Amino acid sequence: MSKETPTSDSIPFTTEHSIEPDLIIRLFEEELQDTLTSENLQANIQSVKGFLYNRDYLTAFDDDTKRFAYVTRWTPMRALSYSSLFGSLGPLTERLRDPEAKTKFLCIGGGAASELVGLGSVFCRLKEYTPKSESQVTIDIVDIANWENVVSKIGDYMKGHWIYDSTKLNYNFLCDDILAIQRPVPEYSTYDFITLMFTTNELFAEKRTETVKFLKNMNEKCRSGCYLLIAESAGSYSHITIGKKKFPVQFLINTILCGEPGKNNGPWEIVKSSESCWYRIDQKQIKYSMKLENMRFFYYLFKKK
Ligand SMILES: C[S@@+](CC[C@H](N)C(=O)[O-])C[C@H]1O[C@@H](n2cnc3c(N)ncnc32)[C@H](O)[C@@H]1O
């Protein structure tokens, strides 16, 4: 696989490899209708916002009312941006275009289903060229909160509306703490592509030592050729003190995964990245019952050597 230019300042509103944004929004409008029309929705969103503001993530997502409120407000814009981001990653679109490829994804902290929609969007669009081919995807989602009902509602819609043969688009939800790595689940070696979207920061805030161990465990277990995508809000990473020195957490992640700066002596290499990538909503092209905001984030796409 050839290396790509390391930075880009923006990704397009949509790509030729993604399902159209208005169809993505239709998924949310149709599947979340009950939540979108609930008279308590705004109050529920405010309540979730309050818990998130206080970094009390566990309480923020501890029942379906809060989880569905979160999904109506924040998942659509993330799903749109991930659909564009995934559709802009050459190694991913090449793989999903291959009519023979069986691809396994692991989305850590992906319970709110943005990654599921983003990946489904790219796979289902590319699958339209060879609808009866053998290619298939399995998207495993691990999250500490129980997003089972959200994931199945959204996943079933994609199976029913976006693909000719629904058996080729599979997803599983596992409610578990990814930092409790004593168990053999998930088996990192079986995955082709792993995502950590807007989740690493939370993991570091929860348990720093365990998060370092978790990254090192992926160093050890992921197979050669596996991709790992990490994205976070641009500028959101805090600094971390090790000994007497302070480092940006981003620097720490790159050092754990890729080795000492400039030496490239770690198990992963960076194949594509952006320190500050904008995703802007084209408000003229879509209408959704709630606010859709632009996003700015940084991302790194790593490949295991
Ligand atoms: C900020 S949300 C990001 C959601 C999604 N990845 C996205 O980009 O839209 C972080 C997610 O990580 C999950 N999470 C936090 N700690 C976790 C842990 N230890 N193990 C698994 N999931 C965790 C939360 O429940 C939440 O769903």
Predicted confidence (pLDDT) at residue 61 exceeds the cutoff of 90 = yes
Q: Which residue has the CA at smallest separation from atom 24 of ligand 1?
A: 109
Q: Is residue 4 part of a domain?
A: no
In a domain, 177, yes or no: yes
Reported as a pLDDT band with limits 50, 70 and 90, residue 56 is confident
Give the pLDDT mean for 67-87. Answer: 98
Cβ–ligand 1 distance for 186 under 6 Å, the answer no
Least confident of 92-96, 115-119, 138-142, 197-201: 197-201
- The CATH number for 153's domain is 3.40.50.150
278 Cβ below 6 A of ligand 1 = no
pLDDT the model gives residue 55: 83
With respect to residue 5, please indicate whether it lies within any of the assigned structural domains.
no
What proportion of the chain, given as a percentage, has pLDDT over 90?
82
Position 31 in a domain? yes
Q: What is the 3-state secondary structure (H, E, C) of the chain?
A: CCCCCCCCCEECCCCCCCCCHHHHHHHHHHHCHHHHCCCCHHHHHHHHHHHHHCCCHHHHCCCHHHHHHHHHHHHHHHHHHHHHHHHCCHHHHHHHHCCCCEEEEEEECCCCCHHHHHHHHHHHHHHCCCCCCCCEEEEEEEECCCCHHHHHHHHHHHHHHCCCCHHHEEEEEEECCCCCCCCCCCCHHHCCEEEEECCHHHHHHHCHHHHHHHHHHHHHHCCCCCEEEEEEECCCCCEEEECCEEEEHHHHHHHHHHCCCCCCCCCEEEEEEEEEEEECCCCCCCCCCCCCCCEEEEEEEEEEC
Centre of ligand 1 to C-alpha 143, Å, is 6
Ligand 1: residue whose CA is nearest its atom 22: 143
Report which ligand 1 atom has the smallest distance to the Cα of 207.
19
What amino acid occupies position 101? A
Indicate whether residue 206 lines ligand 1 (CB < 6 A). yes
Q: What separation in Å is there between the alpha carbon of 75 and the centre of ligand 1?
A: 12
Mutate to test the pocket of ligand 1, among 202, 233, 237 (most ligand atoms within 8 A of CB): 202
Q: What is the mean pLDDT of residues 114-125?
A: 98
- Report the range of poorest mean pLDDT among 103-107, 240-244, 279-283: 240-244
Q: Residue 95 in contact with residue 27, Cβ under 8 Å?
A: no
98 CA to centre of ligand 1 in angstroms: 30
Structural domain span for residue 54: 12-304
Q: Whose CA is nearest to atom 10 of ligand 1?
A: 199
Band of pLDDT at residue 236, cut at 50, 70 and 90? low
* Residue 6 within a domain: no
Evaluate: CB of 197 within 6 angstroms of ligand 1: yes
Among 22-31, 68-77, 93-102, 239-248, the minimum mean pLDDT is found in: 239-248
Rounded to the nearest angstrom, the distance between the alpha carbon of 203 and the centre of ligand 1 is 8
Residue 105 lies in a domain: yes
Confidence of residue 284 (pLDDT cuts 50, 70, 90): very high
Mean pLDDT on 157-183: 93
Confidence band for 206, pLDDT divided at 50, 70 and 90: confident
Closest atom, ligand 1, to C-alpha of 145: 25
pLDDT digits (tens, 9 = 90+) for 249-262: 888 899 999 999 88
Query: b or e along 231-251 (b: 16 or more beta carbons within 10 Å of the residue's beta carbon)?
Result: bbebeebeebeeeeeeeebbe
Pocket lining: 154 vs ligand 1, CB cutoff 6 Å: no
Question: Residue type for 60, please?
Answer: A
Cα 145 to the center of its chain, rounded Å: 15
Q: Is residue 144 part of a domain?
A: yes
Q: Which residues pair with 193 in a beta bridge?
A: 105, 227
**AA letter at 53:** Y
Q: Number of structural domains, the chain?
A: 1
Inform me whether the pLDDT recorded for 182 exceeds 70.
no
Give 206-214's long-range contacts (Cβ < 8 A, gap of 24+): 206/57, 206/179, 207/179, 208/240, 210/179, 210/181, 211/179, 212/252, 212/256, 213/179, 213/181, 214/178, 214/179, 214/181
- Residue 2 is predicted with a pLDDT of 43
Mutate to test the pocket of ligand 1, among 66, 108, 143 (most ligand atoms within 8 A of CB): 143
* Structural domain contains residue 7: no
